Amino acid sequence: MFQYLGVMPELATLLDQLIETSPPADDPTGRATFDALKVLRLIRNIIDHQIVTHTAQLDELGVAQKVGSTTKKLLIEMGHAPAPADRIMRGVDGLPTLPALARHAADGRLSAEVLDAIVRGMNHIEKRCPGRLSDDDKGSYEIKLIGQALSGSTPTEIRKHALALGNTLADAADAGVPAADDSSLNAVTAHTTDAGRIDIRADLTQTIGEKFLAMIDERSCPRPEPDGADDRRTAEQRRADAFELILDQAALGATIDSIGSPRTQLTLTIPATGVNPAELPWTGCVSHATAKRLSCDGSLTEFVLDGEGVPLQMGHTHRLFPTRLRKAVIVRDKCCVKCGAPPSHTQVHHIQHWVDGGPTDLDNGCLLCQRCHTQVHHHGWEIVMGFDRHPWLVPPATIDPHRRPLPAYNRRTMQLDDAA
């Protein structure tokens, strides 16, 4: 019997009873074992919820803060792994503002993983709302996600649904750049470990992540061993080998013919009906603005799906702006037309969006780096092709109320009258 000073007697009794519990001894059909598992699942869910509520009280009392620590660190010191500790703290922060979810958590009907998916989903929806989400709207979204959970959706499916709801909310409000598309948040770090290995970490936009996952998946398929046996590498080892292959291919392929050219094919599925306007296979749904930006540059195949997920029609794969046109655009623009970034850091942007029928030719393309590309799609900048067959930038009214055209960066010393 475990002895814990100060522990409530009922908890100590429960702990001892659980320790003494074992699977049914005489259960030839497995029915009793199955029923016991159902009860144990409820007990586990209730215990996870009680951990959150007790942690919330500990946090409110400021126990960790009094010794110069944090509640999360205190959880880890108790024996919680870092990832579950993060999940517990998200519950501490989220459940007080989600009363319906808290009620379902209290009776054990939802697992800690599902609860966390709903909390994270609601956080995402609130971030996508341009202003404060009203209590009624917040309650409505909360009920929708709980309904998904009670219908049997997995945590991944719940977060995917929340992503779709958030994208719809942001698209309706035209609220600027969502976090998933904000390249200013991008970060890649690398440091050498004590063992002499390289630890690489990245926090990237959804589009970059989609390209990375697609390239890794394509190159990490299992291969038979020389003796015909199955691939002995783990999935993690196959992905590491694929990453090295990508680096080797990039080193061999970095020539003038591939400057700024896309190397990754993307598949965009577009439901004929429903809240989700478009979706990428690896990272899920995207906003309308991201779908348009993806169609600017890259190999893109579009599928329109019916309500059952069956393709109604399939667009052709287009490798936009082939090498000869890219070279011509580079010769004319010389750099990003907005900030002057070198050609190797740029993409070729369709001035009239390709999805809106814009042609793929010299008079409808210009060089833009990723940061400026995002500003053109999300921050009100426009690009027009002048009668001189050079791109001109039109700033948003917040920068210039008169919206006077600016020449491309390599022609910035010009005035509009000079081009006449």
What is the pLDDT, as a whole number, of residue 51?
Answer: 92
User: Which residue matches tokens 């369709």?
Assistant: 350
CB 216 within 8 A of CB 243: yes
CB 304 within 8 A of CB 312: yes
Element (H, E) at 392: strand 391-394
Write out pLDDT tens, residues 350-385: 888 766 777 778 888 898 877 777 778 777 788 999
Structure tokens that stand for 138 in this block: 């917040």
CA distances from residue 209 to 83, 159, 183, 263, 287 in whole angstroms, order as listed: 21, 17, 12, 14, 15
- State which amino acid sits at residue 165: L
What is the pLDDT, as a whole number, of residue 254?
Answer: 46
What is the pLDDT, as a whole number, of residue 272?
Answer: 65
- CA 367 – CA 93 distance, rounded (Å): 44
What is the pLDDT, as a whole number, of residue 18?
Answer: 84
- CA 324 – CA 270 distance, rounded (Å): 31
User: Which residue matches tokens 């517990």?
Assistant: 88
DSSP string, 328-365: HHHHHH-S-TTT---GGGEEEEESS-GGGT---SGGGE
This prediction has a pTM of 0.53
25: DSSP letter: S
- The interaxial angle of helices 155-173 and 135-150, nearest 10 deg, is 150
For Cα atoms 274, 297, 300, give the angle at the middle one, nearest 5 degrees: 50
- CA 327 – CA 256 distance, rounded (Å): 8
What is the pLDDT, as a whole number, of residue 209?
Answer: 87
Below-70 pLDDT ranges, the chain: 1-7, 171-179, 184-185, 224-228, 248, 251-266, 270, 272-277, 281-283, 288-321, 345, 354-355, 413-420
What is the pLDDT, as a whole number, of residue 172?
Answer: 67
Structure tokens that stand for 285 in this block: 């749904």
User: Which residue matches tokens 């050498």?
Assistant: 192
